[in-house]
A and B are shown apart, each in its own frame.
Chain A
Amino acid sequence: MDLYEHQGKELFRRHGIPVSEGRVATTPQEARSAADSIGDEVVVKAQVLTGGRGKAGGIRLADSPEEAREHAEAILGMDINGHVVRRLWIEQASDIGKEYYLSVTFDRGEKKPLFMLTTEGGVDIEEVAERNAEAIARLHVDPLVGFQPYQGRLLLFGAGIADPSEQKQIMAILEKLYEAFVAEDAMLCEINPLIVEPQGRIKALDSKFTVDDNALYRHHDIAEMRDLEAVPAEERAAREKGVTYVKLDGEVGILGNGAGLVMSTLDVIAQAGGRPANFCDLGGGGDAEGVVDALEVITADPQVRAILFNIFGGITRCDEVARGILAALGRLEIGVPIVVRLDGTNAEEGRQLLTEAAAGNLHVEETMLSAARRAVELAGGEA
């Protein structure tokens, strides 16, 4: 789960990492009163879960509460990389002397947390890595031992930070950031930029914070931060029904069991000249309820012109799935053709049930490839 800047900063603040004072606003009026109570020059920052806010004009400096209100009016509703701005973070403006970069990420390859520190902050870290990889100090932490002070020194020396006051402040931030990373079950904690003010004080000017979904059961406070409105309506409905669904932009609706098989089904649709409308995994179930729920979610997408049902029965029995499909057809008004391919446990019984039902918009195919071609054809694609 990705957190907004202001949510990440709240976690930083709780762990003792210095951040600026600020308030959330969802209307121009709220932005005005937030600026008023901060009582200083403020920055009005769009809160969206994507990069490039600055370039898009989503971050603006305001000298007065009235100017903050005007900026808020301009930024709210703005579309930044497909994300509509619905909330703002009004923060006390900072004087920037230097911009550094600091992060801890979950390094899947090494299976250890990875620190990265560089004095070349304020720009995309991948850009720095490409242009001047040596400028980035990198260091893995043994999760069984935890972060040690000598590792902080290695990072500081490696990044070429020589000022004693900066060293002392960043050392403290490193320890606290590692503590936050572990305590909050983070997959990523990134501060870019980590600024040094002209007077020498260091603080986090931005935050990218991602928390492991599997660990949310032990972080109720973070789970509650989820902004349901930022999730597409179909994905929200699917989540409520316990269906794994990701919206894509094609016309062939896809339903299968098991993440790998569904991904493979999307690819086969593309190979047949069509475009998948979604990723939808029934999981291990495939009972009537699950099928009805999933079909409901998929058919809610107006772009869907045909549906491909790709099931490989293992523990899941294909005859059960077939009964689920028939039950769903009885309960839902489905106007688009459905292609069904069943294989594995009790596949023949399943196919027979569907064939006997002889529903007009139901097409039974024997193999994954022929089913994909048929679905693309029925959706009006090439195939």
Chain B
Amino acid sequence: MAIVVDRDTRLVVQGITGREGSFHATRNKDYGTNVVAGVTPGKGGADVEGIPVFDSVREAVAERDANTAMVFVPARFAADAIFEAVDAGIETIICITEGIPAHDMLRVYNWVRPRGVTLIGPNCPGVLSPGKANVGIIPAEIFSEGGVGLVSRSGTLTYQIGHELTQLGIGQSTIVGIGGDPVVGSSFIDILGKFEADPETELVVMVGEIGGAEEEKAAAFIAGHLTKPVVAYIAGFTAPPGKTMGHAGAIISGSAGTAQAKKEALESHDVRVGTNPTEVAALVAETVAARA
């Protein structure tokens, strides 16, 4: 098992002939991910390191039975690429592209959602199920196979926490980077629900940051729907209001979106919140030991 990507993943990479697209498609393939096709309009018939390239996602699905798409096209064409993938019958879309206009994502989200498609990102590092499949730019060597599900709005912070877990000998089922934009395809709640249903996941680590109210909503969801323990981390306690901290979504506006409010919401539902990545890993180790 694992969630979102696994051994059944048949990946098509949209934007495969670009510099980043070809680099990461090749890396994902080398990891063992079943990369079956690439798409770049006008470059059908070419190949990238043995991966056949098609003009459209529809062709990639018809010819190579792709069921998952990774979007690596530039921001101004990314919404179009997602619409194309959904229209071609792709069930899981992972969008790495950053800088997509928020209004484009508003339309994408409201169109994709009722169609039952899983959209991860945009502006995310992707999804890794150690030992099974890696779709995106997550450095797999930091992680190891195991029972901790990791979901995060941030890339390198996730690597840091994964690294600390691995050093304590604690492996992971799936690592999901949901992205740092104001509108992302999957929320913490969506991913927490998937981890709850995944028999391989024993415990979930949720890594949030300032901005929005998704962590607060997740806190209520955890209380009502999760039987598995959750350990959380929130970044941005020292961030001043009104300043965007790198991610378009990481901004405190008025009294909403502060790290303190998120921490309190989580703790009020008995979720333990670590004050730094090292402490998060220690809390996970404690919880695992207590259950063993």
Expressed in whole angstroms, the minimum distance between the Cβ of A136 and any Cβ of chain B is: 15
Interface residues as binary, A200-235 with B (CB distance below 8 Å gives 1, 0 otherwise): 000000000000111101100000000000000000
Q: By the criterion CB–CB under 8 Å, are A185 and B102 in contact? A: yes
* A345 close to chain B: CB less than 8 A: yes
Instruction: Choose, from A69-77, A156-164, A172-180, A256-264, the stretch at the interface.
Output: A256-264
* B240 close to chain A: CB less than 8 A: yes
Q: By the criterion CB–CB under 8 Å, are A281 and B246 in contact? A: yes
Q: By the criterion CB–CB under 8 Å, are A262 and B246 in contact? A: yes
From known contacts A260-B155, A345-B141, infer whether A187 and B102 are also in contact, taking CB-CB under 8 Å: yes
Q: By the criterion CB–CB under 8 Å, are B276 and A259 in contact? A: no
Query: By CB atoms of chain B within 10 A, which of A142, A144, A279 has the most?
Result: A279
Q: By the criterion CB–CB under 8 Å, are B106 and A263 in contact? A: no
From known contacts A260-B235, A263-B209, infer whether A143 and B103 are also in contact, taking CB-CB under 8 Å: yes
Q: Which of B111, B142, B259 contacts A344 (CB 8 A)?
A: B142
Interface on chain A toward B: helix, strand, loop, or mixed SS?
mixed
Instruction: Choose, from A33-41, A106-114, A294-302, the stretch at the interface.
Output: A106-114
From known contacts A259-B180, A259-B250, A263-B209, infer whether A185 and B101 are also in contact, taking CB-CB under 8 Å: yes
Within residues 188 to 230 of chain B, which ones have a CB less than 8 A from any CB in chain A?
207, 209-210, 212-214, 217
Q: Which of B137, B238, B239 contacts A315 (CB 8 A)?
A: B137
Complex interface: chain B residues within 8 A of A27 (CB): none
Query: By CB atoms of chain B within 10 A, which of A182, A185, A263 has the most?
Result: A263
Within residues 78 to 123 of chain B, which ones have a CB less than 8 A from any CB in chain A?
99-104, 106-107, 109-111
Within residues 134 to 166 of chain A, which ones have a CB less than 8 A from any CB in chain B?
142-144
Q: In whole angstroms, what is the CA distance A218 to B77 when docked? A: 13
Q: Which of A258, A276, A313 contacts B157 (CB 8 A)?
A: A258
Q: By the criterion CB–CB under 8 Å, are B245 and A344 in contact? A: no
Q: By the criterion CB–CB under 8 Å, are A271 and B246 in contact? A: no
Expressed in whole angstroms, the minimum distance between the Cβ of A69 and any Cβ of chain B is: 33
Complex interface: chain B residues within 8 A of A264 (CB): 157, 160, 233, 235, 276-277
Interface residues as binary, A228-272 with B (CB distance below 8 Å gives 1, 0 otherwise): 000000000000000010101000000011111111101111110
Complex interface: chain A residues within 8 A of B243 (CB): 246, 279
Q: In whole angstroms, what is the CA distance A260 to B53 when docked? A: 35
Complex interface: chain A residues within 8 A of B100 (CB): 214
Interface residues as binary, B139-156 with A (CB distance below 8 Å gives 1, 0 otherwise): 101100000000011111
Within residues 264 to 289 of chain A, which ones have a CB less than 8 A from any CB in chain B?
264, 266-271, 276, 279, 281
Q: By the criterion CB–CB under 8 Å, are A312 and B160 in contact? A: yes
Q: In whole angstroms, what is the CA distance A304 to B12 when docked? A: 48
* B248 close to chain A: CB less than 8 A: yes
From known contacts A106-B182, A142-B110, infer whether A344 and B239 are also in contact, taking CB-CB under 8 Å: no
* A303 close to chain B: CB less than 8 A: no
Q: By the criterion CB–CB under 8 Å, are A267 and B238 in contact? A: yes
Q: Which residue of B lies closest to A105 (CB)?
A: B253
Q: By the criterion CB–CB under 8 Å, are A257 and B103 in contact? A: no
Q: Which residue of A lies closest to B249 (CB)?
A: A108
Q: By the criterion CB–CB under 8 Å, are A106 and B102 in contact? A: yes
Q: By the criterion CB–CB under 8 Å, are B110 and A112 in contact? A: yes
Expressed in whole angstroms, the minimum distance between the Cβ of A87 and any Cβ of chain B is: 20
Q: In whole angstroms, what is the CA distance A345 to B107 when docked? A: 38
Q: In whole angstroms, what is the CA distance A333 to B163 when docked? A: 34
Interface residues as binary, B239-260 with A (CB distance below 8 Å gives 1, 0 otherwise): 1100111111110001100010
Q: Which residue of A lies closest to B154 (CB)?
A: A260
Q: By the criterion CB–CB under 8 Å, are A267 and B235 in contact? A: yes
Q: By the criterion CB–CB under 8 Å, are B278 and A260 in contact? A: no
* B131 close to chain A: CB less than 8 A: no
Complex interface: chain A residues within 8 A of B111 (CB): 144
* B265 close to chain A: CB less than 8 A: no
Complex interface: chain A residues within 8 A of B110 (CB): 111-112, 142-144
Complex interface: chain B residues within 8 A of A262 (CB): 245-246
Expressed in whole angstroms, the minimum distance between the Cβ of B12 and any Cβ of chain A is: 22
Within residues 168 to 191 of chain B, which ones have a CB less than 8 A from any CB in chain A?
180, 182-183
Q: In whole angstroms, what is the CA distance A344 to B159 when docked? A: 8
Expressed in whole angstroms, the minimum distance between the Cβ of A241 and any Cβ of chain B is: 15
* B44 close to chain A: CB less than 8 A: no
Q: In whole angstroms, what is the CA distance A260 to B243 when docked? A: 14
Q: Which residue of B lies closest to A184 (CB)?
A: B103
Q: Which of A112, A244, A269 contacts B106 (CB 8 A)?
A: A112
User: Would you give 29 A-B contacts (Cβ < 8 Å), ordered by A?
Assistant: A109-B212, A111-B106, A143-B106, A182-B103, A185-B101, A212-B248, A214-B101, A214-B248, A217-B76, A246-B244, A256-B156, A258-B154, A258-B155, A259-B245, A260-B157, A261-B157, A262-B245, A263-B154, A264-B157, A264-B233, A267-B276, A268-B276, A270-B237, A314-B137, A314-B138, A343-B163, A344-B139, A368-B277, A369-B278
> Which residues of A are interface residues toward B (Cβ below 8 A)?
106, 108-109, 111-113, 126, 142-144, 182, 185, 187, 212-215, 217-218, 244, 246, 248, 256-264, 266-271, 276, 279, 281, 312-315, 343-345, 367-369
Known contacts A267-B238, A314-B137, A345-B141; 14 additional CB pairs below 8 A are A108-B213, A126-B255, A215-B103, A217-B76, A257-B156, A259-B154, A263-B238, A264-B157, A264-B235, A264-B277, A314-B139, A314-B159, A343-B160, A344-B163
Nearest 9 A/B pairs, CB to CB:
A260-B154, A259-B246, A258-B156, A260-B157, A215-B101, A314-B139, A263-B235, A261-B156, A264-B235
